[in-house]
Amino acid sequence: MSNCSQRWLLLLLCIAFFSPARSVAGEAPSEAVTALRDILMAACSHDAKQFSAHLTARNAAAFALLTPAAQVTLLKRFVLLDDAGKPNAELSAKGEVTVTCATEQVSTQMLIGKADIQENLAFLPLVVRESSDTAGTSARRIQMGLVVENGQWKLLSLGLLLLDLPSLGEEWDRAEIDSNEKSALASMRELKAAIEKYRVTYTRLPDSLSVLGPATKATASIGEAGLMSAELAAGKKDGYVFRYVIVGANNSGAPAKYELAAIPAAYGRTGATSFFLDSSGTLHSADHKGAVGTETDPKLE
């Protein structure tokens, strides 16, 4: 190669190497944009496993410890929809990526802007609006943050909120515990009412909670009383396990009595309080670290 040709080649290489990057119409989206696209699509379909793959190692470990309900609550926040939807992604001629999350009632469109990448951090503008809002009057604009971990872009922040799932998990567990405990107390009262109604109808106590469930035939029977949902008749509901025991049955002719207990399915996560209905029909509650309550526990009003 001549000296002249070598000088021209060197000049071209220098121009290519030192020239700043330019955004051109139709260019492929960056890896950060692609990662955010996949995150939004996973959130839309409530795919917790796929969503977790885009979390940092610390957040992924905390996410795995969340209850399924808490995981879905987090996914809902990303697409602003209560129900799981069908995700779809489109690439415009300008290189912009739009993710659509469609449900039977409504859908949202999420436009991902160009990534502002600074070393191992990327910040991407995200515009979220309902598909029916063509004017964009109620659109939400959020700045999403991603970080490189082990060579891959991982979710770092939602808006100005750093995604700290260990801390959020504790907060959501507390909220879920409160909701589950209120539900468990209501279920105890529902069970008591159903058992008493069964006793009056069939002049005996039910052998188990299962016979209180929905009737499969046109009319209720002693084995399918139709007094409560199948879920509660199975002894599990909203993070609690329910136990029913017949007590006091003997040959003296005295009517049989029963006891009910409600225990957290996962102590400290789905509930903390154990509820107990004694044979006289009085409700008690106390924290037994996940064990069955007793009639010596404080009474409930």
Cβ pair 211, 227 in contact under 8 A: no
Question: Which residue matches tokens 């929905």?
Answer: 214
Residues contacting 155, CB < 8 A, separation 6+: 35, 36, 39, 54, 55, 56, 59, 144, 145, 146, 163
Q: Copy the structure tokens of residue 23.
A: 């955004």
Cα–Cα distance list, 164 to 59, 78, 156, 157, 173 (Å): 6, 15, 8, 8, 14
pTM: predicted TM-score of the whole model, two decimal places: 0.49
Residues contacting 225, CB < 8 A, separation 6+: 194, 197, 198, 201, 202, 206, 211, 212, 213, 215
pLDDT in tens, the chain (301 residues): 444 444 433 333 332 333 333 333 345 578 999 999 999 999 999 999 999 999 999 889 988 988 888 888 888 887 888 889 999 999 887 778 999 999 988 888 999 988 888 888 898 888 888 766 555 556 788 888 899 999 999 998 876 555 556 656 666 677 788 889 999 999 999 999 999 999 999 999 999 999 999 988 888 889 999 999 999 999 999 999 999 999 876 555 556 899 999 999 999 888 999 999 999 999 999 999 999 999 999 998 6
**145 exposure class (CB count in 10 Å sphere: 0-12, 13-18, 19+):** buried
CATH number of 25-163: 3.10.450
**Distance between CA 16 and CA 154 in Å, rounded?**
30
**90 exposure class (CB count in 10 Å sphere: 0-12, 13-18, 19+):** exposed
**Distance between CA 203 and CA 274 in Å, rounded?**
30
Helix (H) or strand (E) holding 221: none
Domain segments of the chain: what residues? 25-163, 176-286
**Distance between CA 171 and CA 173 in Å, rounded?**
5
**Distance between CA 142 and CA 266 in Å, rounded?**
36
